[in-house]
Chains A and B, each alone.
Chain A
Amino acid sequence: MNAFSQEEYLNERQDSLLATLEHLLELPASAVHFMLDQAVQQVQQVLAADLVALFFHDPTTDTLVALHISDTSMGKQQRASGMNRLPLANGGSAVEVFLSGVPFLTGHADQIPNEPRGIIAGLGIKSQLDVVFRVQTRHRGVVLAASATPDFFTENDLHFLEAIARWVGHVVGRSELVEQIKQQDVEQDQKRTTEELLTIMTHELRNFLQPLRGRLDLILERAKREGREKDIRDAESSLHTLNLLARGISDVVDIARLNQGMFAVHPVPMNLKEVVQDVVKTFATRSVPLTLRFPQDLIVTADPLRVRQAFETMLLYAVYASPKAAEISVDVSIERRTDGPWVLLGVKSVGSAKPGISESQLRAFVASSHSTQLGVQLYLTNQIALAHDGIFTIDSATNHACVLTLAFPIEEEELIVRGEDELHVMM
């Protein structure tokens, strides 16, 4: 070949490499497998190689697996001989390129020590190009081009294969991103369906309970007006059971929401004193002396239904853990901490704790949803605290059967505190 024809040949080759790259960029992005198959066929043709293979690293077996192979006799032979799977442990140039990321070119593969025998003797490879492809910065596989002719490939061919490897990395990365988004969409749809089912189920169950609750309240009121003691007791007992059932339904739904990562609070400005007083009124049928201490008005931003739920649990636990008729005190206060004001809702019961429940058991209740109903409610109280960026603690102190505190931060500008009241009631 004279100097002119050599230059002409190189120019023509450069043009065809560029044309191949352009053609690859025009392939539809939706069908990744088709794109990569097309790529290996076109690269094989433009390089006039005997084999082009796209190896992907399979981390489960730590093997390079050729998922796309050129439709050539050496390609068929590669599949038939099992050389489409290269365990990293066996070494060889393709493996070394995958591990190091450094591109490789040889015209005498048969002279490389440690090259797998199947590559040399089996496929008869003499010239070889190996380039790693990356998704972001991670090595994900190797593009290999091979020929049975010695000294077949040039440095330009290697640069071309490097461009191809970068393109493969982009294609694979984009495809994985699309898959990830699709998967996220599926998960979002599943969550939405679950949330809808939970909402409908809760709605239906609470709607069934509402007329029952109303009728029982009416029976109780009439019995009180007419002084029918037995009916009062029966109505109170039925209402108590109904309340437990309503709490049970709410707890089951809340646990389901927590398990699905859908547990949420709906904070609005609320008067904490009103919530505390309302809850205390609902406990008014029990003969437990209760002292309330709170500011006359305390407006904070929180979810009133969830705070109410937490406070009910705290009172239920205080009654459960304390000796009969032990005095219970409720304190609502503001504490200035380094990160701003916190509201503290504390429930204390006087006397020694009932035997049978240890502090470690109690902490296990708070940490896990797998326990008795009161345990589940303590667990939910802790979740309510966390959802308000706060904490829920249970401690024992001298002369107290239990000390429960729900504390959460509040915004200074939303905080309204006026005066202080002390109230003694019988729960």
Chain B
Amino acid sequence: MNSSSEVLIVDDDPAIVEALSLMLEDAGYAVRTLREGETFEALQENVPGVLLLDIWLSGRDGSAICSYLKSQPATRHLPIILISANNNIVRIAADVGADDYLAKPFSMKEVVAKVGKYLSR
């Protein structure tokens, strides 16, 4: 369990970011969003409770971001849930040390249950 109760969503698709935010807020979570992967270095100072990270980001590779965060002392223990529409999400998540994954299109029940595994409301 992480000390912060905030869920950070990083996805370059605004419609997905908005839908995910609404679902998690409806379930009682505090949500912060980022549309680009470029600013993820800022996470070192403000570590969220859980990171929902899309694999295909414009300009950045979400799986590389995951690997990087898992190699940094400040974010090593940050639970990361990779999200993707790719069939090989399971293998990618295992390869880059992600804690979990969500295969699109996932349901509200699934995302709330996955976030709930790592974060209390």
Query: Interface majority SS on B: helix, strand, loop or mixed?
Result: helix
**For the complex, what is the distance from the CA of A172 to the CA of B23, rounded to whole Å?**
66
Q: Which of A211, A212, A221, A278 contacts B110 (CB 8 A)?
A: A278
**For the complex, what is the distance from the CA of A11 to the CA of B26, rounded to whole Å?**
99
Whether A218 sits at the interface, judged by CB under 8 Å, is yes
Contact, CB under 8 Å: A268 / B85: no
Whether A304 sits at the interface, judged by CB under 8 Å, is yes
Residues of B with Cβ closer than 8 Å to A? 13, 15-16, 18-20, 22-23, 26, 56, 84-91, 94, 103-110
Q: How large is the interface on A (under 10, 10 to 19, 20 to 34, 35 or more residues)?
A: 20 to 34
Contact, CB under 8 Å: A206 / B85: yes
Contact, CB under 8 Å: B107 / A213: yes
Closest beta carbon of chain A to B13's beta carbon, Å: 6
**For the complex, what is the distance from the CA of A211 to the CA of B21, rounded to whole Å?**
11
Measured CB to CB, the nearest residue on chain B to A253 is B87
Within 8 A of B (CB), among A200-214: 202-207, 209-214
Whether A217 sits at the interface, judged by CB under 8 Å, is yes
**For the complex, what is the distance from the CA of A350 to the CA of B53, rounded to whole Å?**
44
**For the complex, what is the distance from the CA of A303 to the CA of B103, rounded to whole Å?**
13
Contact, CB under 8 Å: A282 / B90: no
Contact, CB under 8 Å: B90 / A206: no
9 other A-B residue contacts (CB within 8 Å) besides A209-B104, A268-B94, A304-B90: A199-B87, A207-B13, A211-B13, A213-B106, A218-B19, A266-B87, A281-B109, A305-B89, A305-B103
Contact, CB under 8 Å: B105 / A305: no
Q: Known: A218-B26, A278-B110. Contact between A213 and B89, CB under 8 A?
A: no
Whether A246 sits at the interface, judged by CB under 8 Å, is yes
Which residues of A sit under 8 angstroms from B87, Cβ to Cβ?
199, 202, 266, 305
Closest beta carbon of chain A to B103's beta carbon, Å: 6
- 28 A-B pairs in the complex with CB atoms less than 8 angstroms apart: A203-B56, A203-B84, A203-B86, A204-B85, A206-B105, A207-B104, A210-B15, A210-B19, A210-B85, A210-B104, A211-B16, A211-B18, A211-B19, A214-B19, A214-B20, A214-B22, A214-B23, A214-B108, A217-B109, A218-B19, A221-B108, A222-B26, A242-B105, A264-B88, A266-B91, A268-B94, A282-B107, A282-B109
- Sorted nearest first, the 3 A-B pairs with minimum C-beta distance are A214-B19, A217-B108, A206-B85
Whether A215 sits at the interface, judged by CB under 8 Å, is yes
Closest beta carbon of chain A to B91's beta carbon, Å: 4
**For the complex, what is the distance from the CA of A211 to the CA of B13, rounded to whole Å?**
10
Contact, CB under 8 Å: A217 / B85: no
